[in-house]
Chain A
Amino acid sequence: MMNRKELALNRKELAVNKLQSLGEKIIEDVNLMNVPAIKVPSRGTSNIVYDDLKRYYVLGDRYGQRSLGNVKQIKKIGQMVYMANFCKSLVETGKTATLREMYYVSEGWDIDFGDQQESNIVGEDLEVTLGISREDLGLMPEEDGASVYGDITLKDDDVEINALRMGKSGYTISPTIDEVELVDHNVQRVIAVETMGMFHRMVQENAYKKFETLIVGLKGQAARATRRFLKRVNEELGLPVYICNDGDPWGFHIAMVIISGSAKLAHVNHELATPNAKFLGVTASDIINYDLPTDPLKDIDVLRLKELYKDPRYRDDFWKVEIKKMLKIGKKAEQQSFSKYGLEYVVDTYLPEKLDAM
């Protein structure tokens, strides 16, 4: 098996080749006396389809044409080509840049962007056209990923890191997680939690020992790097992934984006989705069974629950039942509401019961 560095090198080579092919296609069109045009897979709603087999959203086979002969499209082609050159030099020199940095660099180009939103979109165009993720193009998200606590050893460049020896806040997943090698581990599973409050609770209650688990503090909606990390530990290390969030539609969806990916990123879900990950709770049934302190659902919660009910990602009976149940009781509960029975309750009682049931 190739080690991570070789794999990364391989990815690098692939990215450069793909970028280069974009330029080659244009030059070839010109030489063939054709007006150059680029096929950009469509990201319209009708072209985002849920793949039953893969269990996440993928792009359909519809695409739009960006023609050099179209006054509205020519600028986009220009921006794409410019950006491709920028990414090529990033990958070749082994550097990365954030989207914001790239936006500022573009100010010096002959074809610039109106605002960062516009450059972000062209970045997505490039990802979807070339079929590789933007991390592979050297474009990194601004934000760091989640915190990880537990017995896993990683290798970032030449530095070996153990996530048990990084202090109580654990290891922070880097945006460049794809270049990090997963060297060794001594755990059975991964438990991801929505809030850092819960993360610290679990660290303090020695949950990592008790369940032989990695604890991942998501900090709300999971960053791309976090999702990439979860997918890799699941698929490369074969560790089951469990997610424990607040018992409300927003908590449900944070879990679902990890499991089945987002519609917006359908073109890179094959790199991000972890279809094997499991939602542990808090479910509507938990609220009833554990008699948790609750808040009433707000209008917007009800609206969101109804949306989720129609979403193909929630087609399982489990979800149908839980969503209906929550709508019926009209209540939601936070993870921390288990403290009603004492701070240890969640680790001593709730989690073992739920894990057993899985």
Chain B
Amino acid sequence: MEREASELFEEFKELTASEFFRRNKQMLGFSGKIRSLTMVFHELITNSLDAAEEAGIQPEISIDLKRVDKDHYILYHMDNGPGIPEDFITKVYCTMFAGSKFRNIQSRGQQGLGCSGCVLLSQMTTGKPARVISGYKKGEKLQGVEMTFKMDVKTNKGLILDRKPAEVTSTGVAIELQFKDVSYSLSEQGAFEYIRRSMIANPHAKITFRDPTGHKYIFERATDVIPPLPKEVLPHPRGVTADDLIFMAKHTDKRRFRSLLTSSLSRMSTKRVNEIQEITKIDLNKRPKDMKWDEAERIVELFAQMDFMAPPTSGLIPIGKVQIEKGIREILEPEFVATTTRKPKTYRGGVSFVIEAGISYGGNSGRVVGEQKRAEIMRFANRVPLSFDQGSCAITEALKSIDWKRYGIRDLENAPITVFVNIVSTNVPYLSTGKQSVAPEEEILHEVRQATMKIARSLQKYINAKRAAKDEEMRSKIFETYVPVIMREAALLAGKDVPEYEHILAKVTRRPKILDEMDIDLGELADDDIVGEKDDE
């Protein structure tokens, strides 16, 4: 029996964001057991760091992961941020796309889905509610509240199950969530490695982590300097799309499109606006809401042909070479570390970015695979570790293209080395929705190479010096072993007493260079008439 269209469309209901992501949780990065848990850690940690920094507090996070059963965990995550006022708790944790707006700012947050995604995953896999305790300041007074709630995916809102005042001693948020179908792993993609890497890129934070076996890791902060908050900068004309222009037009309070352009984009003068009007013949005095798609498209096409000053770089806050070094020293305890922060550059003509790199050697640098130390690449975007899709990432590609032999590293894969690369930008060009790998923009590849080659040279110097010192030590050892033996045997041969030879030993071991090297290899003197020929006169 055929069904009428209206019947079919009865089932076609408008999806809320929550409902959409309930059906498509892989779009939040929740695919695979290991990756899902790493993404939960990522969302909660970046949220806590952002919150503390915005409030000017040195971040301190405490995480406790308990294993209930196979692939079933309870996660306690607590921070020392400013806390969340009671009325906003469900908004933060249960509403998808809360407060999402067009902002051109360097930020850790990537999806705008953050914590609510974690609550959603918890609820979907266990059916259990989330429990939050928040301590926050109301005026001068410290307030505390404990709340148990679920997410109502149909309405994209929170469903409060229990709410009561809580005793708190400081500001901050603690959340308890349960998960199934996730797994804790020590692999490069796992949650533990995510924390470790976060600590290198955020040396101002402290994290205490108790793993499922009960082992407690304390990652101390390596610096007291809280990074300045990134400022919002106006997007550069080269960095916007037609869609961005329409979005701006919809949300502006300007009355004319021309004033929208000058106030919303950087490097956009009245003179430029007049040029645009002249060339496109579009009336830019009309109301922004009247801007049509094809007009916006034409304007963006024109942007690509016009000459603009490079975008302002004031919005970029790199970690800084000193801070990266502190982070690496704290976490990797290397023998040697070199770091660098490059000057801002732009890609696609309009998006500014900064590349920072660090290289560490020895200590806990590199990954232990079996019995061997392997080199490891740590990729970051705006201080956030990129754990997945390493193969397709511009950072990996740039590092692999370097001729490491030139820097005394015969085999990068098998060297006890960690290479750290962070890209800082208001708009990191990710390759895919997972936002785990950087697109191979030519300028980015170039900058990563330059940054890394510079510090690789420092490493080479260190390795050479180390090798020379080792050779020197071996040299001395040879003399200290052989001289007494030779003296004893020579005396026996001569039928005399062993002479005082300390002065000779001192003389030969302190000699810095071997001057009269007679390097004739008599081992090759096998054939009748073929003899090596390198003797000194």
> Which among A20, A30, A67, A78 has the highest number of chain B CB atoms within 10 Å?
A30
Tell me whether B493 is interfacial, beta carbon within 8 Å. yes
User: Distance in Å from the Cβ of A26 to the closest Cβ of chain B?
Assistant: 4
Q: Are A121 and B523 in contact (CB under 8 A)?
A: yes
Q: Are B492 and A20 in contact (CB under 8 A)?
A: no
**Binary interface profile of A, 117-134, with partner B (CB < 8 Å = 1, else 0)?**
110010011000000000
Q: Are A77 and B486 in contact (CB under 8 A)?
A: yes
User: Distance in Å from the Cβ of A50 to the closest Cβ of chain B?
Assistant: 12
Q: Are B496 and A74 in contact (CB under 8 A)?
A: no
Q: From known contacts A30-B501, A45-B533, A74-B486, infer whether A23 and B518 are also in contact, taking CB-CB under 8 Å.
A: no
Q: From known contacts A69-B508, A121-B522, infer whether A19 and B493 are also in contact, taking CB-CB under 8 Å.
A: yes
Q: B525 contacts which chain A residues (CB < 8 A)?
A: 43, 121, 124, 264
Q: Are A27 and B528 in contact (CB under 8 A)?
A: no
Tell me whether A42 is interfacial, beta carbon within 8 Å. yes
Tell me whether A186 is interfacial, beta carbon within 8 Å. no
**Binary interface profile of A, 11-34, with partner B (CB < 8 Å = 1, else 0)?**
000000001101110110011010
Binds B, one of A57-65, A207-215, A317-325: A57-65
Q: Are B478 and A74 in contact (CB under 8 A)?
A: yes
User: Distance in Å from the Cβ of A59 to the closest Cβ of chain B?
Assistant: 11
Q: From known contacts A35-B507, A46-B533, A69-B511, infer whether A27 and B519 are also in contact, taking CB-CB under 8 Å.
A: no
Q: Give CA–CA (A129, B516) in the complex, Å.
A: 19
Tell me whether B483 is interfacial, beta carbon within 8 Å. yes
Tell me whether B535 is interfacial, beta carbon within 8 Å. yes
Q: Are A262 and B517 in contact (CB under 8 A)?
A: no
Interface residues of A in 34-57 (CB under 8 A from B): 35-36, 42-48
- Contact of A62 (CB < 8 Å), options: B492, B507, B522, B535: B535
- Contact of A27 (CB < 8 Å), options: B490, B526, B532, B536: B490
Q: From known contacts A27-B494, A64-B520, A121-B522, infer whether A44 and B533 are also in contact, taking CB-CB under 8 Å.
A: yes
Tell me whether A72 is interfacial, beta carbon within 8 Å. yes
Q: Are A111 and B518 in contact (CB under 8 A)?
A: no
Q: Give CA–CA (A82, B485) in the complex, Å.
A: 9
User: Distance in Å from the Cβ of A180 to the closest Cβ of chain B?
Assistant: 28
> Which among B489, B490, B517 has the highest number of chain A CB atoms within 10 Å?
B490
User: Distance in Å from the Cβ of B120 to the closest Cβ of chain A?
Assistant: 69
User: Distance in Å from the Cβ of B273 to the closest Cβ of chain A?
Assistant: 77
Q: Are A22 and B493 in contact (CB under 8 A)?
A: yes
Tell me whether B503 is interfacial, beta carbon within 8 Å. yes
Q: Are B532 and A74 in contact (CB under 8 A)?
A: no
- Contact of B518 (CB < 8 Å), options: A35, A48, A64, A117: A64
Given contacts A44-B531, A82-B489, 15 further A-B contacts (CB under 8 A): A20-B493, A22-B490, A23-B495, A26-B486, A43-B522, A45-B529, A63-B535, A64-B518, A72-B517, A78-B489, A81-B489, A84-B489, A85-B489, A124-B525, A263-B529
Chain B residues near A (Cβ < 8 Å) = 475, 478-479, 481-483, 485-487, 489-496, 499-501, 503-504, 507-508, 511, 514, 516-520, 522-523, 525-526, 528-537
